[in-house]
Amino acid sequence: MQDRGWWLTAAMSGALVVIAGAFGAHALEGQLAPRLAAAFETGVRYQAWHTLALLAVLAWRASTPLPWQRLAMGLWVTGTLLFTGSLIALALSGIGALGMITPLGGVLMIAGWLALAVCVLCAQRSR
């Protein structure tokens, strides 16, 4: 199966979204300060959206594999690890310095979307 590792990454990310969402809604309910609970929820929400985007690009790659797709996916996965990971770690630990990692993850996720735009433009030009 082409892109087996990417499919596995998407599947694990989806599972983690559900686990984190359930953990946040049940185990952490009322346990965190509102701003930390919001940070946790933001991290989970961004991971969910980028997991869906990863699945969409993988479906596209099944019929039209293009080099920029892998770059976009790699940037999203790395960005999600840093963005979501830092927000969840911040929410659970309260260590404010972890918030300095979050923008780097966000920049990588944005770069992934820009790489996808380049991929689309390159694909249209090669027609």
pLDDT digits (tens, 9 = 90+) for 5-46: 999 999 999 999 999 999 999 999 899 999 999 999 999 999
What does DSSP assign to residue 27? Answer: I
Please answer whether residues 47 and 84 qualify as being in contact, where contact means their C-beta atoms are separated by less than 8 angstroms: yes
Query: What does the buried/exposed string (b/e) look like for 41-63 if buried means 16 or more CB atoms within 10 Å of the residue's CB?
Result: bbbbebbbebbebbbebbebbee
pLDDT digits (tens, 9 = 90+) for 82-123: 999 999 999 999 999 999 999 999 999 999 999 999 999 988
The whole-model pTM stands at 0.94
d(CA 86, CA 67): 29
